[in-house]
Chains A and B, each alone.
Chain A
Amino acid sequence: MSVDASDLLAKSAPGRSSWTAALISWEGLLLAVLIAIIAVNANLSDAYLTVTNQINLFQLSIEKIIVALIMTLIIINGEIDLSVASMMGLAACAFGWLFQAGFPTVAAIPVVLLVGAAGGYLNAFFITRMGLPSLVVTLATLIGFRGLARVLVEDRGITDFPAWFDNLGQQGLVGPLPLAMIIFVVLLAFFIVVLHFSGFGRQVFVIGNNKDVAAYSGVDVARVKAILFTASGLISALAGLLYAARVGAVRGDVALGFELDIITIVLLGGISIFGGRGSLYGALLSILIVLNLRNGMALVNVTGHIQTGVVGILLIVSVLAPNMRESLGAAWSNWRGRRGSR
């Protein structure tokens, strides 16, 4: 009986009209959820659709969603980078430390970005040259980078950065759009092209599907991974700088724990933790869902614990759903098959 059902499902799949296929895809489901959230939010709060709130909604999490873009590529590649938030903290603290030491602010920025790239390359070195799992390597650097950040600024806050630096983080650069949002949009477009429309992107997917097969077919696995992890370090450092500018101060605990939010967003976007499957479109929809959901809950005064709980439930559902979808789909065609034969 169950053999019949899956058989039917397989046969019926190509014959489905395109809109049902789109709807049944993960991205289609996310889009429906997003529209529902936006509709509910707009109904519940007058302030929700104002330009200020819409910009705040992005700004409050902007550093996380910038890092989520490169994290998407890394997870599709079958790896993980747990050290991103610690690198954000290290970058922000290194910037604060250089600033306090009297280093010119303009020169501190490229230095900090270099630190980020170097930290990312360090991860890549251990993963590709030593053959260690990224989970272990980046767990170690999660602790290491954070430790270094705390050593740099100890238990003080560093503040009073130049006004132009703070303004970049806090004010609109193009109309009401702040620099960080523009960077997000540019990086999003860039990574969509890289991942979905380039040879490099295909290599990312192939490696994520099966590293050994990729290596046998001549893909330079180590090179792809080195590029991804170095980029991850660099972008995390950039995000750390953007955070420092947005809040106008740094402390050793900057971005503490952000890695979990970032990975949650990516997984919710339908990107498989086992690698090889997923898209930046899913990641983008997931970003919009999480941000709008949190904003909506905040506007109706839902407190932090419940917000975290709701996002947690979403994640569990998103991990279970692909399996549930298959069995539900099978049950559906099974039911239709029986009805048709009656």
Chain B
Amino acid sequence: MSKIITSAIAALMAAGLAAPAAAESVMAEKGQSVDLTLLPKFLGILVFDQANEGAQEAHAELENPGELLFVGPTPENSVAGQIEIMTTSTTQGKDVVMLSNNAGDQIVPSATAAQAAGTKVVTWDSPIPSGDGESVFVAQVDFGSIGVVMADMAHSLLGGSGQMAVLSATPDAANQNAWIAAMEDALKGSKYADIELVDIVYGDDQSEVSYNRALALVDQYPDLGVIMAPTTVGIQAAAKAMQDEGLCDQVAVSGLGLPSEMVSYTLNGCAPEFALWDFRDLGYLTYYTSYLLATGAIKGEIGETFDAGRMGEYTIEKDPTRDSGLRVLMGPFTVYNKDNVEAAAN
């Protein structure tokens, strides 16, 4: 069997480059001039700064004589601001805009205009829902897998059985709702039969509200063992609440958090385990994808495989989470605990 495959590959290779779709990994050629704009949802958020660090790292590594800009709108003007920056970047003749989309499909006309004028649009962190005007989406993780990751963390923190509650962002936050639904799905598995999800509450992604909600949960459910917060604001506030009230022995906090914000709570045992993807890596991979697209080394088609520096090989695939659109999947969660959190926090 394997002999047949080997000879088939040999035959293909003998036929010259007739089949470029064969998994030939494209390498980036250094030193080409590409002007890029990194456009986050808004400025002043640590994870976006980290994505910028990753992009800057790749920019230096590829010795790009062009310009890498990090510009973003203010939080209260995010949608209009993103449209404005997309339009301005097109006017400036940038080669690529790397967008963490916060404008939903409202960004589509300006992204389509950008593509028409020769400016590629590569999304990361958050895609264009319809996929229109977007070259490819660099996804941090498979959002379905987050449910399993959270269920597993609860399982290990509870020692296999006990009560947990969810402290989320806002009731209408699309990301969080999808993740919680995925976790509820995962909890149906027999492995988690003794874990009871007692409540889902919302801290509005505000520290003080989240802090109070976490304390209310402990009052309401005396046997509560885990608070799962799939938001970086919520997990930090909940951990602080447990620490301040001396409840860390009873209730463990977990969820999605930033190592730099969580390191002290992980080391003192209030939040022994949490997960996230690395935004530096996301920025780095997005930059490589964009650079290769802009230089024409890849076309942005399904099945193209490329080499992203220190992160290795990636393949462009159809995005299974949207009706249309392409995706590069960065890959698994990093689960942080006392062994690795300090290194990641710096």
Contacts and interface: CB of A to CB of B under 8 A. Distances in A.
Q: Do A and B bind each other?
A: yes
Interface of A: 45, 47, 50, 52-53, 56, 60, 154-155, 157, 159-160, 166, 169-170, 246-251, 253-254, 256-258, 294-295, 298-299, 301, 303-305, 308
B324 interface: no
A51 to B, nearest CB: 11
A331 to B, nearest CB: 38
B342 interface: no
Nearest to A308: B74
Nearest to B172: A155
A157 B88 contact: no
Contacts of A294: 84
Contact of B71 (A157, A253, A303): A303
Nearest to B37: A301
Interface in B107-138: 107-110, 113, 129-130
Given A56-B91, A246-B109, A257-B76, A304 B174 contact: no
B108 A253 contact: no
Contact of A304 (B77, B107, B110, B113): B77
B6 to A, nearest CB: 48
27 contacts: A45-B92, A47-B91, A47-B92, A47-B93, A53-B91, A56-B87, A60-B80, A60-B84, A60-B87, A155-B172, A155-B174, A160-B130, A170-B109, A246-B109, A247-B107, A247-B109, A249-B106, A249-B108, A250-B106, A253-B79, A298-B88, A299-B88, A301-B69, A303-B72, A304-B42, A304-B71, A304-B81
Contacts of B91: 47, 50, 52-53, 56, 299
A298 B94 CA distance: 13
B105 A305 contact: no
B44 A305 contact: yes
B256 to A, nearest CB: 20
A53 B88 CA distance: 8
Contacts of B174: 155
Nearest to B117: A52
A198 B126 CA distance: 52
Contacts of B200: none
A89 B199 CA distance: 33
Interface in B31-52: 42-44
Contacts of A251: 79, 104, 106
Sorting the interface of chain B by its residue count into under 10, 10 to 19, 20 to 34 or 35 or more gives 35 or more
B293 interface: no
A57 to B, nearest CB: 9
Nearest to A246: B109
Interface of B: 42-44, 69, 71-74, 76-77, 79-81, 83-85, 87-88, 91-93, 103-110, 113, 129-130, 172-174
Nearest to B170: A155
Nearest to A159: B105
Contacts of A159: 104-105, 108, 129-130
Given A247-B110, A301-B71, A303-B71, 4 more contacts: A157-B104, A258-B80, A304-B74, A305-B44
Nearest to A258: B80
Contacts, number: 87
Contact of A248 (B44, B88, B93, B106): B106
Contacts of B85: 298
Contact of A60 (B76, B83, B107, B108): B83
Instruction: Give the interface centre of B80, B129, B130 by most chain A CB atoms within 10 Å.
Output: B80
Nearest to B104: A157
B59 to A, nearest CB: 15
B145 to A, nearest CB: 23
B122 to A, nearest CB: 19
A304 B108 contact: no
Instruction: Give the interface centre of A170, A258, A298, A308 by most chain B CB atoms within 10 Å.
Output: A298
A256 B93 CA distance: 29
A7 to B, nearest CB: 48
Instruction: Give the interface centre of A50, A157, A258 by most chain B CB atoms within 10 Å.
Output: A157
B109 A304 contact: no
Nearest to A245: B109
Given A47-B91, A155-B172, A157-B106, A304 B83 contact: no
A91 to B, nearest CB: 15
A303 B52 CA distance: 14
Contact of B104 (A52, A249, A301, A304): A249
Contacts of B129: 157, 159
Contacts of B80: 60, 258
A304 B92 CA distance: 17
4 residue pairs, one from A and one from B, having the closest CB atoms: A249-B105, A247-B106, A155-B172, A157-B104
B73 to A, nearest CB: 4
Contacts of A258: 80
A97 to B, nearest CB: 16
Nearest to A166: B109
B188 to A, nearest CB: 25
A247 B87 CA distance: 12
A257 B174 CA distance: 22
B38 to A, nearest CB: 11
B100 to A, nearest CB: 14
B61 to A, nearest CB: 23
A247 B83 contact: yes
Contacts of A256: 76, 79
Contacts of B74: 304-305, 308
Contacts of A298: 84-85, 88
A248 B130 CA distance: 12
A295 B103 CA distance: 20
Contacts of B173: 155
A248 B105 contact: yes
B112 to A, nearest CB: 9
B49 to A, nearest CB: 13
Nearest to B107: A247
Contacts of A160: 130
A247 B130 CA distance: 13
A210 to B, nearest CB: 36
A212 B147 CA distance: 65
A157 B87 CA distance: 21
B81 A157 contact: no
A267 to B, nearest CB: 18
B235 to A, nearest CB: 22
